[in-house]
Amino acid sequence: MVVQTRLSDDEIDRVFHALAAATRRDILRRAIEAEHSVSALARSYDMSFAAVQKHVAVLEAAGLIIKRAEGRERLVRADPAMIARARALLARYEEMWRARIDRLDALLSEDPSPEPIAHEGD
């Protein structure tokens, strides 16, 4: 079985969109800690059950959480594989920026004294 590690552009957009809202980040944090029912999650927020369901749907569409039915309840838990893929993307961005900073540091540490410009008549 081939496991995809890189995120497509659409997946990246969905992940960043999902993580753009504080409520969704908090729901994801809770889902990482333990599996929760959507109704239990809804009781934790000062918003309607429908609003929490919408947040859960955004996280699910991004692949960050998995929702399953157990009887009449819908349980959500984090998807560690997608979180690992998102983390790998951020690590690549970090490596890119560290390399740029290292190049900038190298340029700045070169001999900073430029040759004087000769003017006509000097």
CATH number at residue 44: 1.10.10.10
How distant, in Å, are the alpha carbons of 38, 95, 115, 117 from that of 82?
Answer: 20, 20, 54, 57
What pLDDT does residue 110 have? 82
- Looking at every residue in the chain, the average pLDDT score rounds to 89
Q: Is 76 helix (H, G, I), strand (E, B) or coil?
A: strand
CA dihedral 5, 10, 15, 19 (to 10 degrees): 160
Domain encompassing residue 87: 9-102
Number of folded domains that form the chain: 1
Query: Does 121 map to a domain?
Result: no
The residue with greater pLDDT, 57 or 110, is 57
Q: Is 24 helix (H, G, I), strand (E, B) or coil?
A: helix
Query: Does 77 map to a domain?
Result: yes
Query: Does 122 map to a domain?
Result: no
Find the helix or strand (DSSP H, E) in which 69 lies: strand 65-70
Query: Does 1 map to a domain?
Result: no
For 62-121, write each residue's pLDDT tens digit.
999 999 999 999 999 999 999 999 999 889 888 999 889 988 888 888 866 666 676 776
The residue with greater pLDDT, 24 or 4, is 24
Query: Does 49 map to a domain?
Result: yes
What pLDDT does residue 105 have? 84
What pLDDT does residue 2 have? 46
